[in-house]
Amino acid sequence: MTTLFATLSSISLAFAGMTRVALNMDRHYRQLPKQHSKRMRWRSLYPLIASLLLSVSLTASIISHGVGNGLVLWFGIVTMTTFALAMLLTYRPETVIKLGWLAVLVGSISMTLFLIG
């Protein structure tokens, strides 16, 4: 059960981290609806936040599956979440910010459950 929580936290935190990486790029930032782009004052901190989220995601994969399998799993997760994010930015850019925050919430809850259990 703990590997399930670790994998869930790794997936959701990787999605949240890649969302922050994408929204730091001007091209993807311009894809957002105007009401979202006006509210994003902390955009300069996104590289630091993205690095933190991706490193916690990597740590969860390595702790639960070992170094070799954890790295392979993490690269697969990052590839999968980046593809999902690219599709969302193409077809539903208005949902990207909401899903990014939801991913942070789910990732932090599942990471807490992983560390407790």
pLDDT at 36 over 60: no
pLDDT at 33 over 70: no
Please, what is the average pLDDT of the chain? 88
**Overall pTM surpassing 0.85 (yes/no):** yes
What pLDDT digit, counting tens, does each position of 37-91 carry?
555 666 678 889 999 999 999 999 999 999 999 999 999 999 999 999 999 988 8
Tell me what pLDDT residue 2 has: 83
Q: Are the CB atoms for 9 and 111 separated by under 8 Å?
A: yes
Tell me what pLDDT residue 11 has: 96
How far apart are the C-alpha atoms of 44 and 48, rounded to whole Å? 9
Tell me what pLDDT residue 22 has: 87
Confidence class for position 108, pLDDT limits 50, 70, 90: very high
DSSP state of 25: S
